[in-house]
Structure 1
Amino acid sequence: MSSVKNTFTIKDLENLSGIKAHTIRIWEKRYSVLEPMRTDTNIRFYDLHALQKLLNITLLHDYGYKISKISKLPSEKIPELVLEIISNKSAKSHAISAFKMAMMNFDQKLFLDTYEALLSEKSFREVFFEVFIPLMEEIGLLWQAETISPSHEHFISYLIKLKLLVITEKALNNKPIREDKIFVLYLPMDEVHEMGLMYLNYEIISSGYKSIYLGQSVPLDSLKDLKKYFNNIVYVCYSTVEPIKTKINPYVQEIKEQILVEDSQLWIIGRNVQNIDTTILSESVRKFDTISELISEL
């Protein structure tokens, strides 16, 4: 059985394009921009071609083209106009749409081609903040709405992580030049949301610091071990869902008491920081609301 999702409800199209189902129906009826298929019970459904066309129409509409004008264009003209826009203006919207199509089709080549096109115009930092972060936020919402399956999310996340590994490996070719801090990056036990931490690792290395990347589900004993070998450690903890809300403050307090010594710090980032009691923060324990905020401290 094919793993590619090749039919979509109108709600799926709404979730993937950002165009309300009501508006899609109006565009169909008034301008015939899409031709839905019908089930035996007369329920609309759409194929991948319709999804691609709607994503292109959405891009044109976002850039000021009226739907009445778009509807009169020959089908082959729509992709041509999209290419003109992305070459003359911003590639962000098109790239996000292309990555979503790659995800829906499990199409690695489309992902790679889109990524290389972006990287020819932008720095990796710009690609990450302008495209990958909005893309993953959208994907999270699509998963919650059951428009995509966990396999779609895993597929696209894996490819982004591969690119993070490649760009980080290049940065590692340069020896550390700053010795006032050593960064230890890790995720707490049972935490698996690693992409933000991987990006921070790249930024830290690019800033000239030595970075020790420990990855997922790191017990506190592993952090204790590092005190035997290094001074001036900054522990960077990325906490998205673990420890849970009721345990995040005791967790931070335990690190303060058992891990931190006079010359070390804990920097904590991730969605979970909103649950940290500010009274336990200090010069040695800092929280960051965004990746950009942490990077500015490097």
Structure 2
Amino acid sequence: MMIKNESFSIRQVIELTGISEFTLRGWETRYKAFKPKRSPTGRRIYSQDDIQKARLLQSLVEKGYKIGNIAKLDLSDLEKILPQQQAAGFNTTPPNKHLEDIYKIMDLAHLYKWEEISDILHKKRRDSKPEIYISDILTPLAGQIGKLVAAEQMSVGQEHILSAYIKEQLILVQSDIKRPKSQSRLVMTTPEGDLHDMGISFASSLSRLKGLQTLFLGPSTPKKDLSETCLRYKATHLLISSTVSQKEGAKESLFSYVNFLDRNLPVKMAFLLAGRNAAQLDLNLDRDVTIFSSMGEFQSYLKNLP
């Protein structure tokens, strides 16, 4: 447990909270979320309360709160919105030795230094095993992009450029994959109206690295077209990632979409579901249904496929 009067540098705050330096400085200078003291040499000194507040702010931003509306609230007010024990879960996240590189990429993106970002990604790909590169570098990098966009610390244009770099890396990772020999045949997509395909892009790459036959359809596939494709491809597994609700742009609810597929596809075909909408789905189907809450769970699932 931290000592109450212990002080922390900005680098220590980054390591303890998982928030990038650019985001912390933005919350501090633009939104006045923190008022750190200064050392004799002028360096910022943060307190334990600052760290707890940063965690609470990050958790609330991830739940859809606008940083401009909550940044100036004190710690006790934030704890009323989100109980302290819920935010404490940040400490249970396993350390990622690549976090420093991820934060550096995010800061370079804010400076529009795309060539430097490309150099870092190419080097990390060459120096890492493919699965590790995807799970420990590209996946958390995509997560940081989402957090910064939600926190209004990154523009849509910057998001699109960084996402394009990530997808380029996924293609390069798969360039040396040999012809698949697995009996499993996976189809992957998102429901019609859901254009967020980054999750299934990662899933597709990981599946191919495992030697599985994989058909990546991209985002927003109409349910009738998806049913026909699965039948013609003779799919054994169908992965659907849903992050956009009907109110947010999806053509229909995930429940309705999945039930249509259930009625029109062979019962022996397994349904794999992911994304924030899938976590709240209550299904009672006469087939194998697996709901993933993380990419790590999906990777573990792949290991047991024939």
TM above 0.5? yes
Could you tell me how far 1:183 is from its partner in structure 2? 0.8
**Cα separation, partners in 2 of 1:177 and 1:231, compared to 1, 3 Å:** same
- Tell me whether 1:22 sits opposite 2:22 in the alignment: no
Deviation readout 1:128-169 (Å, 9 max, x if unpaired) = 332333333333232222222111211111111111122123
Distance 1:96 1:261 in 2: 42
Work out the number of aligned pairs and report it: 227
Backbone CA RMSD of aligned residues: 3.0
Contact 1:15–1:147, Cα closer than 8 Å, also in 2: no
- AA in 1 matched with 2:152: E
Could you tell me how far 1:196 is from its partner in structure 2? 1.4
Contact 2:131–2:209, Cα closer than 8 Å, also in 1: no
Q: Residue 287 of structure 2 aligns to a residue in which SS?
A: coil
Partner of residue 248, structure 1: 254
Deviation readout 1:65-85 (Å, 9 max, x if unpaired) = xxxxxxxxxxxxxxxxxxxxx
- AA in 2 matched with 1:266: F
Distance 1:218 1:257 in 2: 17
Could you tell me how far 1:10 is from its partner in structure 2? 7.8
Identity %: 21
Partner of residue 279, structure 2: 274
Distance 2:289 2:241 in 1: 13
Distance 1:178 1:253 in 2: 28
- Tell me whether 1:231 sits opposite 2:234 in the alignment: yes
Q: Residue 115 of structure 2 aligns to a residue in which SS?
A: helix
Deviates more, 1:151-160 or 1:133-142: 133-142
Partner of residue 100, structure 2: 94
- Tell me whether 1:32 sits opposite 2:42 in the alignment: yes
Partner of residue 45, structure 1: none
**Cα separation, partners in 2 of 1:13 and 1:170, compared to 1, 3 Å:** farther
Alignment of 1:50-61 (within 5 A): none
Partner of residue 288, structure 2: 284
Question: Structure 1 stretches of 5 or more lacking a match?
Answer: 1-7, 35-88
Q: 1:12 aligns with which of 26, 31, 40?
A: 26
Distance 2:188 2:97 in 1: 32
Contact 1:232–1:263, Cα closer than 8 Å, also in 2: no
Quick check: which has more Rg, 1 or 2?
1
Contact 2:223–2:260, Cα closer than 8 Å, also in 1: no
Deviation readout 1:50-106 (Å, 9 max, x if unpaired) = xxxxxxxxxxxxxxxxxxxxxxxxxxxxxxxxxxxxxxx975232022211221122
Distance 1:275 1:267 in 2: 14
Question: Structure 2 stretches of 5 or more lacking a match?
Answer: 1-21, 45-94
Partner of residue 301, structure 2: 297
**Cα separation, partners in 2 of 1:185 and 1:90, compared to 1, 3 Å:** closer
Q: Residue 241 of structure 1 aligns to a residue in which SS?
A: coil
Partner of residue 204, structure 1: 207
Q: Residue 257 of structure 1 aligns to a residue in which SS?
A: helix
**Cα separation, partners in 2 of 1:277 and 1:92, compared to 1, 3 Å:** same
Could you tell me how far 1:237 is from its partner in structure 2? 0.7
